[in-house]
């Protein structure tokens, strides 16, 4: 009992420190570098071993010496402990290095943000004709102060060290959140006091330093909750409070609160955030399902509106 009580106190203390200092940024397309999901492609990191699977298949090991995983529509990405950013398509596992000296990255359908060890954030576009799975273009310098970033299907985002959120890309669905509906050719500031941002198909979520989750952009099916439901929101609107991490899929979204509870909302779920799991340390959303990693390193998966099922257990070290 004393051990359990001490463990609980330690966990609470860690959460309080994260909240007071501003949640440590997650650079993945999920709430954590350990999980990734997009359309039906998913990845998991157990220790330094990366696992990959599609749909309801079982996760299988695909790469070692890994510290971060991510996916695009068909492309898989891993960052090695030595700073190499590797990518491959399909299930062949034939990996190609697209950049080195990388400290963290964010990938998506149209390209990759990569933070290099010298502090610079660069962008590598991927061939649009191949849905982001073609060869990577030459790195383009974006910022020298970015702390986290997200690749959307239509607009891309990064957060500067002072908490300012910058956006570039299409604005037709309200993706900027500042009222504009016309695209900018350069990154423009659109929000302050931001600690995390996640983008998907025409919409985006941000996490404020005080734990407030806000959203903007397309909201036909409810990934932004009630905010602009049925069409779009052109300004950032509040969705949830007391969050420490966020993720979003094509039509539903996720948030982990300060107690480690996972909440979800959107298509097939409802417009009000609903608690779905406890003791969650990472979560990701794709086109029609969600995955979550619990404190005991068990992996859970479920379709929107369904009950979570235990599908895998990270091997013990």
Q: What is the mean pLDDT of residues 62-72?
A: 95
CATH of the domain at 241: 2.130.10.30
pTM of the model as a whole: 0.90
Q: What is the pLDDT of residue 127?
A: 63
**Pairwise pLDDT comparison (242 vs 16), residue with the higher score:** 242
Report pLDDT digits (tens) over 160-209: 999 999 999 999 999 999 999 999 999 999 999 999 999 998 999 999 99
Domain hosting 158: range is: 2-313
Q: Distance between CA atoms of 18 and 205, rounded to whole angstroms?
A: 19
Q: How confident is the model at residue 19 (pLDDT cuts 50, 70, 90)?
A: very low
Phi, psi dihedral angles at 183 (to 5 degrees): -70, 150
Report pLDDT digits (tens) over 122-142: 999 876 544 444 566 789 999
Report pLDDT digits (tens) over 211-228: 999 999 999 999 999 999
Report pLDDT digits (tens) over 268-311: 999 999 999 999 999 999 999 999 999 999 999 999 999 999 99
Q: What is the pLDDT of residue 155?
A: 95
Is 250's pLDDT higher than 70?
yes
Is 234's pLDDT higher than 50?
yes
The structural domain count of the chain equals: 1
Q: Name the percent of the chain lying above pLDDT 90.
A: 78
Q: How confident is the model at residue 8 (pLDDT cuts 50, 70, 90)?
A: very low
Q: Distance between CA atoms of 1 and 118, rounded to whole angstroms?
A: 47
| Pick from 7-11, 36-40, 177-181, 268-272: least confident | 7-11
Is 85's pLDDT higher than 90?
yes
The mean pLDDT of the chain is 89
SS3 of the chain: the string is CHHHHHHHHHHHHHHHHHHHHCCCCCCCCCCCCCEEEECCEEEEEECCEEEEEECCCCCEEEECCEEEEEECCCEEEEEECCCCEEEEECCCCCCEEEECCEEEEEECCCEEEEEECCCCEEEEEECHHHCCCCCECCCEEEECCEEEEEECCCEEEEEECCCCEEEEECCCCCCCCECCCCCEEEEEEEECCEEEEEECCCEEEEEECCCCEEEEEECCCCCCCCCCCCCEEEEEEEEECCEEEEEECCCEEEEEECCCCEEEEECCCEEEEEEEECCEEEEEECCCEEEEEECCCEEEEEECCCCCEEEEECCCC
Q: What is the pLDDT of residue 94?
A: 83
């Amino acid at each position: 009992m004393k051990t359990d009580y001490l463990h609980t106190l330690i966990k609470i203390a860690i959460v309080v420190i994260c909240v007071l200092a501003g949640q440590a940024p997650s650079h993945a397309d999920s709430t954590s570098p350990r999980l990734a999901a997009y359309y039906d492609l998913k990845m998991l990191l157990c220790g330094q071993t990366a696992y990959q699977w599609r749909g309801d298949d079982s996760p299988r090991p695909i790469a070692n010496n890994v510290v971060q995983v991510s996916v695009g529509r068909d492309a898989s990405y891993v960052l090695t402990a030595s700073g190499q950013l590797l990518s491959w398509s399909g299930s062949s596992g034939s990996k190609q290095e697209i950049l080195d000296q990388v400290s963290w990255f964010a990938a998506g359908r149209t390209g990759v943000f990569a933070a290099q060890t010298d502090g610079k954030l660069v962008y590598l576009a991927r061939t649009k004709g191949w849905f982001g799975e073609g060869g990577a273009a030459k790195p383009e310098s974006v910022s020298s102060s970015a702390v986290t970033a997200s690749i959307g299907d239509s607009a891309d985002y990064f957060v500067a060290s002072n908490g300012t959120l910058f956006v570039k890309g299409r604005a037709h669905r309200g993706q900027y959140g500042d009222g504009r509906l016309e695209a900018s050719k350069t990154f423009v500031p659109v929000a302050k006091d931001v600690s995390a941002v996640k983008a998907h198909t025409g919409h985006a979520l941000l996490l404020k330093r005080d734990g407030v989750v806000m959203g903007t952009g397309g909201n036909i099916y409810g990934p932004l909750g009630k905010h602009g439901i049925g069409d779009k929101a052109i300004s950032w609107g509040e969705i949830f409070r007391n969050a420490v991490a966020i993720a979003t899929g094509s039509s539903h979204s996720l948030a982990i609160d300060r107690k480690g509870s996972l909440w979800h909302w959107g298509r097939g779920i409802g417009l009000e955030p609903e608690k779905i799991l406890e003791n969650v340390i990472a979560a990701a959303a794709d086109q029609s399902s969600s995955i979550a990693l619990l404190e005991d390193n068990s992996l859970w998966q479920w379709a929107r509106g369904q009950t979570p099922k235990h599908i895998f257990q990270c091997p013990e070290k």
